[in-house]
Amino acid sequence: MDMPQNVRYRAYSDWTSQEIQEINNNVKKSPWHATYHIEPKTGLLNDPNGFSFFNGKYTLFYQNWPFGAAHGLKQWVHTESEDLVHFTETAVRLLPDHAHDSHGAYSGSAYEIDGKLFLFYTGNVRDENWVRDPLQIGAWMDKEGKIEKFENVLIQQPNDVTEHFRDPQIFEYKGQFFAIVGAQSLDKKGFIKLYKAVENNVENWEFVGDLKFGGTGSEYMIECPNLVFVDDKPVLLYSPQGLDKSELDYDNIYPNTYKICQTFDTKNAELIGASEILNLDYGFEAYATQGFNAPDGRTLIVSWIGLPDVDYPTDKYDYQGAMSLVKELTIKDGKLYQYPVETITSLRDSEENFSEKSTTSNTYELEVTFPANDKSELLLFADDKGNGLRLTVDTKEGIVTLDRSKAGVQYATDFGTSRHCSIDKDETTANIFVDKSIVEIFINKGEKVFTSRVFPEEGQNGIQIVSGKPSGKYFELKY
Ligand code: FRU
């Protein structure tokens, strides 16, 4: 939502309790609140930050401007979870309250070291002429959630990047801490810088090199790069902006992409054997995905269900954005799969055979099989006038299509109203998680994923089978 700069950058302490109360009241009026997804209490939620395992629990922060549905003075909001399904928001915040993050505590990562959580993030600093100085800075968080920021800047803006230099991700590789940072070169190309912690001291970083990963494309900026390891294979997740459509078929304003690589040569800052660039998600919104290698060996990721520079129907209620389910990454037959963590089944409250339903709670999971040589069409968020979110699984042609043009309140239609991906011409499954205004579709247990918002109007909560012979289960989900 458009909002004047002086409102977006107003000091947190200047907002009166009455203004905050009004925002709170307005948020409550929305008919679209999710039940088992993280949403901001107020204001805008964007990137997942600091996703990690700390003090025996999972930690997940989110980027937030708390005073409305706009990108303003950002903070990190803390949540924690034991099962990666139920998250509790605590009172802990990484506030923009230091000279090194005066215009926003921007995105970053976290890692538990010696009983404390190291937070590595971008301090967005602007001078009186609004010229930006992006600083990579750090803090320690203790078990009580007390945050102590470092006085020293960890990485200053190098002289070969523009003001677009942000989103440090710390990771450990063979016992050594590394970090990658998204950057824009002086000739406006997106790239990634690799650093390492000198003597493994995370308060001291040195530059290793510009990360080589099989060639960057036409993007002008890479946001939120993440390097994770799946069965020892490096997987680079990133959000390139301005990528030419000839290099990758995508429709969203910016895609969220990945490359699977074979090995990581730390000396030469090179990911060797990188695949072509691929879409991480085929839905209408998934961005800034963050991942980490959990101590139990799983590779976990979570995505922002939202996109930069897009207005949403919830904006009038002073909030925007949600967090995806936590997904586990695996590689099968050389292909990357993403699927919600096993504990997600704990939300299943009741089970019945999949069939048409004139009304639902819009909080359910479908586990559906689409036979080979068939074309099935389902309507979710359906009403009795034939409106709804249309999912077409065509196993004859090998294509899945999601059409939002008749689903709820329309928005972002400039970017098209349908999305598609290819599948094998064979029996196909879909696990579909619906949560009031969110839908996450996992084709063939996560071989392809569609993450999207839908903002249903009154009475748009049915399921219709328009054609084909899908069969399976319907699970009512309860948080
Ligand atoms: C991505 C992003 C990051 C930045 C953050 C600011 O959505 O633009 O690059 O750190 O959001 O909120």
Residues 6+ apart with CB under 8 A from 298: 328, 341
Cα–Cα dist 432/435, whole Å: 10
336 and 350 belong to one structural domain: no
Tell me the CATH number at 135.
Answer: 2.115.10.20
370 and 273 belong to one structural domain: no
297 and 386 belong to one structural domain: no
Report which of 135, 163, 164 is spatially closest to residue 150, judged by C-alpha positions.
135
- The tokens for 61 are 């922060």
Cα–Cα dist 24/317, whole Å: 9
3-state secondary structure of 28: helix
152 and 291 belong to one structural domain: yes
Cα–Cα dist 353/208, whole Å: 56
Which amino acid appears at position 246 of this protein?
A: S
Instruction: Provide the domain count of the chain.
Output: 2
Q: Domain span at residue 465? A: 346-477
Protein residue whose Cα sits closest to atom 12 of ligand 1: 106
336 and 354 belong to one structural domain: no
Which ligand 1 atom sits closest to the C-alpha of 63? 12
Cβ–ligand 1 contact at 8 (below 6 Å): no
11 and 114 belong to one structural domain: yes
Interstrand relation of 438-443 and 348-353 (parallel, antiparallel or unpaired): unpaired
Cβ–ligand 1 contact at 242 (below 6 Å): no
* Per-residue model confidence as pLDDT tens for the chain (479 residues): 889 999 999 999 999 999 999 999 999 999 999 999 999 999 999 999 999 999 999 999 999 999 999 999 999 999 999 999 999 999 999 999 999 999 999 999 999 999 999 999 999 999 999 999 999 999 999 999 999 999 999 999 999 999 999 999 999 999 999 999 999 999 999 999 999 999 999 999 999 999 999 977 899 999 999 999 999 999 999 999 999 999 999 999 999 999 999 999 999 999 999 999 999 999 999 999 999 999 999 999 999 999 999 999 999 999 999 999 999 999 999 999 999 999 999 999 999 999 999 999 999 999 999 999 999 999 999 999 999 999 999 999 999 999 999 999 999 999 999 999 999 999 999 999 999 999 999 999 999 999 999 999 999 999 999 999 999 999 999 99
Could you tell which of 166, 237, 254, 320 is best to mutate to test the pocket of ligand 1, judged by most ligand atoms within 8 Å of the CB? 166
Q: Could you say which of 340, 359, 381 is where a domain stops?
A: 340
293 and 373 belong to one structural domain: no
What is the Cα 268 distance to its own chain's centre? 30
334 and 371 belong to one structural domain: no
253 and 303 belong to one structural domain: yes
In the numeric block, the tokens 């689409």 are attached to 370
- The tokens for 42 are 């107020």
20 and 149 belong to one structural domain: yes
Q: How many Cα atoms within 13 Å fall on the side-chain side of residue 32?
A: 26
Which ligand 1 atom sits closest to the C-alpha of 74? 12
Which amino acid appears at position 170 of this protein?
A: I
306 and 352 belong to one structural domain: no
Q: Could you say which of 316, 340, 364 is where a domain stops?
A: 340
| Burial category of 331 from C-beta neighbours within 10 Å (exposed 0-12, middle 13-18, buried 19 and up) | middle
Report which of 94, 123, 122 is spatially closest to residue 180, judged by C-alpha positions.
122
C-alpha angle with apex 62: 314 to 68, nearest 5 degrees?
A: 35
The 10 Å Cβ neighbour count of residue 6 is 7
Q: Could you say which of 313, 340, 367 is where a domain stops?
A: 340
| Burial category of 225 from C-beta neighbours within 10 Å (exposed 0-12, middle 13-18, buried 19 and up) | buried
In angstroms, what is the span from residue 75 Cα to ligand 1's centroid? 11
Could you tell which of 71, 125, 224 is best to mutate to test the pocket of ligand 1, judged by most ligand atoms within 8 Å of the CB? 224
Cα–Cα dist 428/249, whole Å: 22
Which ligand 1 atom sits closest to the C-alpha of 108? 10
Active-site choice (2, 14, 47, 167): 47
Cα–Cα dist 97/88, whole Å: 24
Report which of 379, 385, 355, 364 is spatially closest to residue 470, judged by C-alpha positions.
355
Active site includes 47? yes
147 and 56 belong to one structural domain: yes
Cβ–ligand 1 contact at 101 (below 6 Å): no
Instruction: Give me the pLDDT at residue 355, please.
Output: 96
Q: Are 368 and 432 in contact (CB under 8 A)?
A: yes
Tell me the CATH number at 429.
Answer: 2.60.120.560
Cβ–ligand 1 contact at 47 (below 6 Å): yes
Residues 6+ apart with CB under 8 A from 402: 282, 283, 284, 389, 390, 391, 392, 418, 419, 420, 441, 450, 452
Q: Are 474 and 348 in contact (CB under 8 A)?
A: no
Cβ–ligand 1 contact at 122 (below 6 Å): yes
